[in-house]
Structure 1
Amino acid sequence: MAYYSDELVEQVRMSNDIVDVISGYVSLKKKGANHMGLCPFHNEKSPSFSVSGSKQLYHCFGCGASGNVFSFLMEYEKYTFPEAVEALAERAGISLPKVERSKEEREKEDTRTKLYEINKEAAKYFYMLLRAEPGKKALEYLNGRELTEETMTKFGLGYSAQYSNDLYQYLRKKGYSDSLLAKAGLITLDERQGGYDKFWNRVMFPIMDQRGKVIAFGGRVMGDGKPKYLNSPETMIFDKSRNLYGLNFARASKREGIILCEGYMDVIALHQAGFDNAVASLGTAFTPGHANLVKRFAKTAYLSFDSDEAGIKAALRTIPIMTQTGVHCKIIHMDPYKDPDEFIKALGKEEYEKRIEQAENSFLFEVRMKQREYNMSDPAEKNDFYRQAASMLLRFTQEIERDSYIHAVATHYQLTDKALKELVREQAAKGAGIKMQAPLKTGAQSKKKTDGLKEAQKLLLTWMIEEESLFDVLKPYLGPQDFTEELYRQVARMLYEQKAQGHVHPADIMSHFQSEDEQRQIGELFHTELTAAKTKQARQQALKELLITIKKGNIEKMSSGAQSADMNHLMEMIKKEKELEELKKITISL
């Protein structure tokens, strides 16, 4: 991954006015000091998306999306941070330093470039053949599947001719060598036959990466040939476990979550019906690499697999991979139809939308599938199932989450919460994988206190950004080390450093954080609404209360630290407690 210095990143940011950049994606209108428009990250009818030219930040008061010009491209275009820097540098005419590469690295990169070219040429050729005389039957097949010309064009659908060396001859005439064509996965070289095509007499589905570059193909045979579906082999530019069909379109969808299907036609049918967040794995089992891709673009995955036994098994294999990656799973049920394509043809997109709304929690689906293995009319087997369900519940290590699922399972299978909880404890005692945690009586209070401390730190940082004069007021009482939230402490340190150099620049701070979650938190921090106190005295009192809350939180964290018995640690705590007591006595001047 490319690395660029902080100075260069800041130069790129300052050379790209956020209002100008976002105006290329969103229609903005001046409203007071800011510009407003419809949020590009969620569906809305009234504008709640604010872009600040003075702060060089954006914020949506509807969905909470926030950030600077880099994070906008990262969220909208799904770029990595270096990709966003490179795109904006090109826009501003800034030359980025080229990384020195060895001869081997240059050759490898040149080969990759050629492979992209070859795949693009092949896609264009297949596309042309589908709409010419040789592709007549393939076109009839696609029309029979009720695909519109617009949909076929969107996905670049094509046809590979009946002659087994048709594409080979075409690409050879374009000047590509046998070696490169073999590396692209499009031909097979044979001493007797020479070069011949991997794909012939098939409807062709170009497979594109996230950026829309053709990296491989899938082909469905016309007639009774085998295999019915054939995919390109893995190449330098195609890794089946790290690409998803349709993701180049789904990444920009405004729909919530990602719909995961089993095949190309399901994805295409869903997109045609308006569900443009549908994707599918590429002729291989679902992998952690796929799950990480989904996680990059969505928090929830809707599994829309075939409703037969094979589809159920595929769902049961996929769920743990998703959940271990941190993606929440739901199951879309399509009975009495086999797949999304059949379902939408029979009942329409409105009914499919309802099935999405009614999607089943993946854990409850797993329990229900497990229940099918037992004869619930037999008391012994019924009890065995209850114990199995209890063992499954042990995967939830957080008590509050575990209790929620205990209640859901108990309600569905006509048990009391108490009875199922006892079974869970019994399974835990047998070493089913986790020690049960006793309920914390002060859990709610502790969470409330933690949330209050976090909110106080957020409000104070926002206030400091809005009124730079506060830095001098707070200097005797507060420093970056007093912020207990790690992210806020980093932001505070940067703000203090910026202030020491002259002025604070929130958008510059945003550039130092590359993860979407960190940027969202910082964006929320910079856009926290401050309730203006009516009088100077009220403002002074509000500031004092925030300081006291933060100081108390700092002391409490120190007192719970592992070094609390260390003399230096104790002396530091005593010092801070004295500072807190002094703070309570004084009036802060604004």
Structure 2
Amino acid sequence: MPRYSDELIEEVRSRNDIVDVISQYVRLSKKGSTYFGLCPFHNEKTGSFSVSPNKQMYYCFGCHAGGNVFTFLMQYENYTFGEAMEALAERAGVDLPKQEYTAAQRQEADRRARLLEINKEAAKYFFVLLRGERGKRALDYFKKRALSDETIHKFGLGYSDQYSDDLYRYLRSKGYDDEILKDSGLVTIDEVRGGHDKFWNRAMFPIMDVHNKVIGFGGRVMGDGEPKYLNSPETKIFDKSRNLYGLNFARATKKPQLLLCEGYMDVIALHQAGFDNAVASLGTALTSGHANLLKRYTKEVYLTYDSDGAGIKAALRAIPILKEVGITTKIINMKPYKDPDEFIKALGAEAYQERIDQAENSFLFEVRMEEQQHDMHDPEGKTAFYNAVAKMLCGFTEKLERDNYIEAVAAKYMISSDDLRRLVNQQGLKAGLAGGGRASQSVADAQDGARTEYKKSAKKREDGMVQSQKLLLTWLTNSPALFPKVQRYVGADDFTDPICHSVAKMLFEQYEKDGTVNPARIISTYEDEEQQREAAGILNATIHRVDTREEREKALRETVIRVRENSINHKLANTFDVQEMAALAKEKNELPGTVHIPLEE
């Protein structure tokens, strides 16, 4: 991606009014100087999603999504910054500079583009074949699986002909040579047979990336051939471990979680039944690449794998991979049916939604699967089970979380929580993770409790101070005329929270330059999505309404004093100069009596 100048980025941003852009995706209603609507990033019944034409920013007071017009497209469409820049530049009629490639980069980009063209041509060809006489068998198969014409069209389903060189000959007729075709994953070239197809006599499932570009295929054989299911090999445009089937649709869901399936038909059946949040890995076990991809779209994944032994093993492998990246996981029980497709055909969408609502906590699922490895009617087997569970519980490093799971397991498996806690402590001791015996554990727990309370108190003070800093920056953003009055007492360096300090520095510089502020431009300086969200939150803190000028002056004065006092305390803690310490202490003592910020009526 070319590196655009700050001036060009700002030109594109300023020529795309954020209200106009977001109105294409969200129905907005004006309330005062701000627009509100239902947040497109989480489910809600009352509109907490705000769009400010003055700030050229959006912010959701529910899920805290926020940013400028670039951020919105990156979050909603999952664009990269470059893609958002290109889309908004085109919308505003701004010409972007052409990217300068090295010869090698140009060759690589051209090759990728050609491979995408080939896959698109193949998908179109398979799609047409399905509707002709030769594709009748595959179409009958899809109809037998209860897929509607609309669903078949939505997923671009098709058919690869029974002749093993049919696609090869078609693609050659379109001008593609053997050298590029052999890299497409669709054709094999050998000296004896010449060119022949990877897929033939199969019902075809195009695999698309999140931008709806065909990057590969899956094919189910028509008849008794082997293998039953076949997937494209890895190519320059297709990485199985970093793509998910159906994500191009599921990424736009408003549901709070994603449903992770095993197969194409499960995804398609779920989407047809109204569950537009279903995805599947591509004929391979879940990888950390899949988990990181999922994390970009959700914090919660429900595993809806097959209910047989292989599906259970796959779920047990997936749980720690998802946990590693911070995704909460639950397990959907589909018994007595094998998979989502069978379940929905038999019981319908409403019953499946009930199973979603009843989904099992992933740790308790792991415990239940462990239980099945032991004879619970035999004392020795029962003891082995409890010890195995105690070892599993040691994996929770946070005491509160560990205690909650101890209570849950104890209640479910009819064991005293004290006895189970003793077993956990013993297992922790063996692993070198905890003190031994009940007495030492009591001391450790008491120490944990004291540390926790101290941390809570410190965290509360810290959170309150950060909120004061955010509040003051929002006040200055909303009313730039306050700058000269506030600057008598507080400057950018008085904001001690790192992200607040970064935002304050840019905000004060903007005002000092020309007497105005441009919060949307500040968002553009951050490349990290989480920092953009934090910066948006800083500039959209909730200022509680007060009715009189005197009350507003009092609230602002107290906020300024808190921010400055905190800054003085920070400096006192980091200086060893006696004279400086004395001056700071004097200022802190006199500060409440010196701050006066009159407001206009």
Cα separation, 2, equivalents of 1:320 and 1:96: 44
Local SS of the residue matching 2:448 = coil
Q: Deviation of residue 465 (structure 1)?
A: 1.2
Question: 477, 496, 499: which is aligned to 2:511?
Answer: 499
Cα separation, partners in 2 of 1:427 and 1:318, compared to 1, 3 Å: same
What's the CA shift string for 1:136-174, capped at 9, x where partnerless?
Answer: 111111101000000000000000010000111111111
Cα separation, partners in 2 of 1:368 and 1:550, compared to 1, 3 Å: farther
Tell me if the contact between 1:185 and 1:198 (Cα under 8 Å) persists in the aligned partners.
yes
Cα separation, partners in 2 of 1:453 and 1:409, compared to 1, 3 Å: farther
What's the CA shift string for 1:355-404, capped at 9, x where partnerless?
Answer: 11111111221222222222223333333322322222222223333332
Is the aligned partner of 1:549 residue 2:562? Answer: yes
Is the aligned partner of 1:438 residue 2:448? Answer: yes
* 1:588 aligned partner: 596
Cα separation, 2, equivalents of 1:103 and 1:81: 24
Tell me if the contact between 2:43 and 2:256 (Cα under 8 Å) persists in the aligned partners.
no
Q: Deviation of residue 62 (structure 1)?
A: 4.6
* 1:155 aligned partner: 155
Question: 530, 540, 545: which is aligned to 2:553?
Answer: 540
Cα separation, 1, equivalents of 2:197 and 2:172: 12
Cα separation, 2, equivalents of 1:243 and 1:489: 38
Cα separation, 1, equivalents of 2:418 and 2:580: 47
Is the aligned partner of 1:456 residue 2:468? Answer: yes
Cα separation, 1, equivalents of 2:564 and 2:409: 44
Q: Deviation of residue 587 (structure 1)?
A: 4.1
- In structure 2, runs of 5+ residues without a counterpart are 436-443
Cα separation, partners in 2 of 1:536 and 1:573, compared to 1, 3 Å: farther
Runs of 4+ in structure 1 deviating by more than 6 angstroms, as ranges, are: 434-437
Cα separation, partners in 2 of 1:586 and 1:268, compared to 1, 3 Å: same
Cα separation, partners in 2 of 1:156 and 1:313, compared to 1, 3 Å: same
Cα separation, 2, equivalents of 1:558 and 1:415: 54
* 1:567 aligned partner: 576
Cα separation, 1, equivalents of 2:556 and 2:404: 39
Counterpart AA for 1:589:
I
Cα separation, 2, equivalents of 1:556 and 1:149: 69
Counterpart AA for 1:581:
N
Q: Deviation of residue 254 (structure 1)?
A: 1.1
Q: Deviation of residue 101 (structure 1)?
A: 1.8
What's the CA shift string for 1:252-282, capped at 9, x where partnerless?
Answer: 1111121110000000001001111111111
Cα separation, 2, equivalents of 1:432 and 1:419: 20
Local SS of the residue matching 1:260 = strand
Deviates more, 1:400-409 or 1:343-352: 400-409
Deviates more, 1:498-507 or 1:543-552: 543-552
Tell me if the contact between 2:209 and 2:248 (Cα under 8 Å) persists in the aligned partners.
yes
Q: Deviation of residue 30 (structure 1)?
A: 3.9
Cα separation, partners in 2 of 1:537 and 1:14, compared to 1, 3 Å: same
Tell me if the contact between 1:540 and 1:587 (Cα under 8 Å) persists in the aligned partners.
no
* 1:265 aligned partner: 265
Is the aligned partner of 1:108 residue 2:118? Answer: no
* 1:578 aligned partner: 586
Deviates more, 1:95-104 or 1:548-557: 548-557
* 2:410 aligned partner: 410
Is the aligned partner of 1:24 residue 2:24? Answer: yes
Q: Deviation of residue 514 (structure 1)?
A: 3.2
Q: Deviation of residue 114 (structure 1)?
A: 0.7
Q: Deviation of residue 551 (structure 1)?
A: 4.3
Local SS of the residue matching 2:374 = coil
Q: Deviation of residue 109 (structure 1)?
A: 1.0
- In structure 1, runs of 5+ residues without a counterpart are none
Q: Deviation of residue 115 (structure 1)?
A: 0.5
Is the aligned partner of 1:470 residue 2:482? Answer: yes
Counterpart AA for 1:456:
S
Is the aligned partner of 1:528 residue 2:541? Answer: yes
TM alignment of 1:181-260, pairs within 5 A: 181-260=181-260
* 2:439 aligned partner: none
Counterpart AA for 2:359:
A
Deviates more, 1:328-337 or 1:230-239: 328-337
Q: Deviation of residue 405 (structure 1)?
A: 2.3
Q: Deviation of residue 317 (structure 1)?
A: 0.8
Q: Deviation of residue 486 (structure 1)?
A: 1.7
Is the aligned partner of 1:294 residue 2:294? Answer: yes
Q: Deviation of residue 75 (structure 1)?
A: 1.4
Cα separation, partners in 2 of 1:505 and 1:171, compared to 1, 3 Å: same
Tell me if the contact between 2:489 and 2:595 (Cα under 8 Å) persists in the aligned partners.
no
Cα separation, 2, equivalents of 1:443 and 1:421: 24
Cα separation, partners in 2 of 1:346 and 1:571, compared to 1, 3 Å: farther
Local SS of the residue matching 2:35 = strand
TM alignment of 1:270-349, pairs within 5 A: 270-349=270-349
Tell me if the contact between 1:391 and 1:432 (Cα under 8 Å) persists in the aligned partners.
no
Cα separation, 1, equivalents of 2:432 and 2:189: 54
Local SS of the residue matching 2:296 = helix
Cα separation, 2, equivalents of 1:384 and 1:89: 65
Cα separation, 2, equivalents of 1:588 and 1:383: 71
* Superposition TM-score, scaled by structure 1 size: 0.94
Q: Deviation of residue 47 (structure 1)?
A: 4.4
Cα separation, partners in 2 of 1:63 and 1:431, compared to 1, 3 Å: closer
Cα separation, partners in 2 of 1:442 and 1:418, compared to 1, 3 Å: farther
Counterpart AA for 1:390:
A
Counterpart AA for 2:474:
T
Cα separation, partners in 2 of 1:454 and 1:186, compared to 1, 3 Å: same
Cα separation, partners in 2 of 1:246 and 1:464, compared to 1, 3 Å: same
Cα separation, 2, equivalents of 1:278 and 1:257: 9
Cα separation, 1, equivalents of 2:405 and 2:418: 13
TM alignment of 1:91-130, pairs within 5 A: 91-130=91-130
Local SS of the residue matching 1:35 = strand
Tell me if the contact between 1:37 and 1:47 (Cα under 8 Å) persists in the aligned partners.
yes
Identity %: 57
Cα separation, partners in 2 of 1:574 and 1:301, compared to 1, 3 Å: farther
Cα separation, 2, equivalents of 1:487 and 1:313: 43
* 2:500 aligned partner: 488
Cα separation, 1, equivalents of 2:459 and 2:164: 67
Cα separation, partners in 2 of 1:417 and 1:541, compared to 1, 3 Å: farther
Local SS of the residue matching 1:438 = helix
Local SS of the residue matching 1:50 = strand
Cα separation, 2, equivalents of 1:575 and 1:420: 58
Cα separation, 2, equivalents of 1:578 and 1:394: 52
What's the CA shift string for 1:463-514, capped at 9, x where partnerless?
Answer: 1211223322222332333323222121111111111112111111111223
Cα separation, partners in 2 of 1:550 and 1:393, compared to 1, 3 Å: farther
Tell me if the contact between 1:458 and 1:525 (Cα under 8 Å) persists in the aligned partners.
yes
Counterpart AA for 1:271:
H
Cα separation, 2, equivalents of 1:538 and 1:469: 18
Cα separation, 2, equivalents of 1:339 and 1:103: 50
Local SS of the residue matching 1:73 = helix
Cα separation, partners in 2 of 1:378 and 1:551, compared to 1, 3 Å: farther
Local SS of the residue matching 2:90 = helix
* 1:519 aligned partner: 532
Local SS of the residue matching 2:260 = strand
* 2:438 aligned partner: none
Counterpart AA for 1:567:
F
Deviates more, 1:102-111 or 1:23-32: 23-32
